[in-house]
């Protein structure tokens, strides 16, 4: 008999009762060091006092009032995101997939409004993950997620990640934009070469395309800057953000330049819950922390320290681990043993991770971790390697 909760997840038999910083606790007293962070969502750890306070205070005042009216906290959050990024304007959503959907619609509307309604195709990269809606799984083109859901939504052309020749060859008179993750997460923690990102900007300018970046997982400080594309020194036209932007509260955002958003006028797009007062209160609280002086530098410093520790772990355990990859605190361990087995063993020893493609285990700790948590995690991973080597 089907379970009351639709069985679309192969859930672990774990139920967490509470969280504190980088740790999660089950009702029977087990403690886990959380280096999955809700798949890069709990950017400031669990039950961060500043976020809890903001949510409690807003909950006592106003939960929801619809976008038929002004929401001052949303206006403030949008202004802060604009001031800290390339963007001129922001549309708030409930999730990353909805932020992607907004950006995809924006691409088509831009070309329609600027005299090229026939330009609708978006070039995307194999290995990408853009969400779970029919449009976003079509954008990624991953057979694993498309199986059983065909036909796919038209308008997406898939090329190899990092291959500029294939990308250039895919451009035709109907091409409207290029959509890329600066760091592929689900695809196996694969950072784009910075020169590749710069070349994408050049190609978009050359052919009149919009550069649309998916920073749902790699944005909001995860790589040591507010957005990962900043490492390349480029200016995109559209960026989809979510996950860490709400620190665990459902919140997403589509950021854009004034040029790209020229067609997004009243009535062209909407969301019932996107930008509601509760989400905006938490989003502003997250920004309070992220924008503190030195926060991103600390993420970068701890991320580099973790990278060195994981690289040394790989060197000590070559029969189990092949390499470390990623950027900032968005790292991955490419395994020589099945990544699912490695992740299960680490969990048994008290460390939570999450698997990805290319036999990679994702290491996505909260952005607030210190060397003490890194030391504890690496010690557990060392035990994991020894157990896996012994079992092999």
Phi then psi for 313, rounded to 5 degrees? -60, -45
- The secondary structure element, H or E, covering residue 343 is helix 339-348
Measured CA to CA, the distance from residue 344 to residue 384 in angstroms comes to 9
- The secondary structure element, H or E, covering residue 334 is strand 330-335
> In 94-174, where do the E strands start and end?
121-125, 156-159
Measured CA to CA, the distance from residue 129 to residue 227 in angstroms comes to 17
Q: Tokens 């285990």 — which residue?
A: 361
The answer to whether the beta carbons of residues 342 and 348 sit under 8 Å apart is no
Q: Which residues are annotated as a binding site?
A: 96-97, 129, 132, 214-217, 271-272
Q: Which residues are annotated as a binding site for N(2)-acetyl-L-ornithine?
A: 132, 271
The answer to whether the beta carbons of residues 97 and 250 sit under 8 Å apart is no
- Structural Rg of the chain based on CA atoms: 21
Phi then psi for 241, rounded to 5 degrees? -130, 150
Q: Which residues are annotated as a binding site for pyridoxal 5'-phosphate?
A: 96-97, 129, 214-217, 272
């Amino acid at each position: 008999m089907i379970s009351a909760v639709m069985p679309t997840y192969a859930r672990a038999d774990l139920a967490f009762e509470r969280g504190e910083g980088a740790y999660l606790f089950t009702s029977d007293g087990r403690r886990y060091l959380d280096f999955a962070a809700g798949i890069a969502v709990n950017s400031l750890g669990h039950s961060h006092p500043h976020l809890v306070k903001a949510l409690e205070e807003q909950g006592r005042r106003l939960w929801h009032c619809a976008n038929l009216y002004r929401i001052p906290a949303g206006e403030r959050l949008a202004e802060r995101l604009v001031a800290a990024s390339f963007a001129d304007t922001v549309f708030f959503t409930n999730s990353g997939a909805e932020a992607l959907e907004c950006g995809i619609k924006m691409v088509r509307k831009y070309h329609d409004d600027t005299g090229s309604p026939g330009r609708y195709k978006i070039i995307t990269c194999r290995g990408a993950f853009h969400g779970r809606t029919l449009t976003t799984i079509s954008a990624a083109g991953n057979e694993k997620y498309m199986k059983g859901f065909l036909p796919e939504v038209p308008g997406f052309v898939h090329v190899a990640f990092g291959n500029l020749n294939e990308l250039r060859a895919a451009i035709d008179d109907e091409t409207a934009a290029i959509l890329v993750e600066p760091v592929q997460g689900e695809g196996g923690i694969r950072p784009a070469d910075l020169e590749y990102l710069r070349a994408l900007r050049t190609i978009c300018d050359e052919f009149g395309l919009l550069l649309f970046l998916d920073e749902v997982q790699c944005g909001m400080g995860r790589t040591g800057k507010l957005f990962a594309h900043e490492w390349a020194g480029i200016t995109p036209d559209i960026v989809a953000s979510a996950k860490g932007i709400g620190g665990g509260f459902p919140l997403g955002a589509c950021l854009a330049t004034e040029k790209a958003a020229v067609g997004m006028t009243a009535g062209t797009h909407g969301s019932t819950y996107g930008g509601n007062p509760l989400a905006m209160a938490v989003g502003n609280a997250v920004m309070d922390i992220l924008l503190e002086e030195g926060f991103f530098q600390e993420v970068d410093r701890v991320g580099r320290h973790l990278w060195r520790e994981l690289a040394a772990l790989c060197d000590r355990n070559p029969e189990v681990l092949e390499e470390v990859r990623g950027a900032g605190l968005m790292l991955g361990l490419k395994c020589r043993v099945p990544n699912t087995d490695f992740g299960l063993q680490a969990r048994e020893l008290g460390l939570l991770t999450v698997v990805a493609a290319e036999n990679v285990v994702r290491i996505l700790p909260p952005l607030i971790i210190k060397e003490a948590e890194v030391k504890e995690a690496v010690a557990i991973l060392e035990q994991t390697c020894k157990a896996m080597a012994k079992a092999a």
